[in-house]
Chains A and B, each alone.
Chain A
């Protein structure tokens, strides 16, 4: 069955935790009977968890040093204030 565009919009709200209680109930009632929307919803949930599941990678050990080495050099006077 071709579902109403509005149902997809409610599905997005449910995913983004923006749905009202009424909308949420309406949506979950709907996917109990509509396999198309149920599949769609589960696939979106799975997509989210796959993307969230990407590991955080660390940059190389020398990262900070490499950045510092490439910074334009500050003026000498600001690096070491002259003693009077």
Chain B
């Protein structure tokens, strides 16, 4: 797989525009699902996923061939999605850490107190409901959770994609999982 990808990238770098389509085909499902689980709305996820590939293409010379291509690509897709959410959601203050609490936010505070209304559970199919609850997570927990559980990536890969230490990845997964637990326990 890695050798195949490297060959394609070499072709693209030499100006073989069409070879890039092979890369898109190889990774489009994963990239799309990362975007989809981060932003939830299919059309927006599709636009973001396309944009991620376009950026990968225009920056292909910056990609270090010895590193894993998917890590680099997923990083572009994650960053684009998170940026998009930041611009879209004015509720950033909920994401702000409460000083001296080591990553605790107003959001986690609220989430833990708020029971999920029963009719909401009935209203959505489980999938949609789970997706909505993921969307309610602060962005930094959401990206760690999506990469771990949806893409099944190792802590090391997640740490490379998000550019944070492995220990921080763990903390975010633990906190994100706890916040989700509080919202998903009323099945």
Contacts and interface: CB of A to CB of B under 8 A. Distances in A.
B148 to A, nearest CB: 9
Contacts, number: 98
A54 B29 contact: no
Interface residues of A, number: 33
Contacts of A52: 149-150
Interface string B29-61: 100110011000010001001100110011000
Interface string A1-35: 00000000000100110000000000000000000
Contact of A63 (B49, B126, B170): B49
A66 interface: yes
Interface stretch (B64-72, B116-124, B174-182): B174-182
Given A12-B174, A43-B185, A79-B15, A51 B28 contact: no
Contacts of B82: none
A47 B180 contact: yes
B29 A56 contact: yes
B33 A57 contact: yes
Nearest to B151: A56
B15 A68 contact: no
Interface of B: 14-15, 17-18, 20-21, 24-25, 28-29, 32-33, 36-37, 42, 46, 49-50, 53-54, 57-58, 126-127, 130-131, 134, 145, 149-150, 170, 173-174, 177-178, 180-181, 184-185, 187
A59 B131 CA distance: 17
B145 A51 contact: yes
Given A57-B42, A67-B53, A47 B177 contact: yes
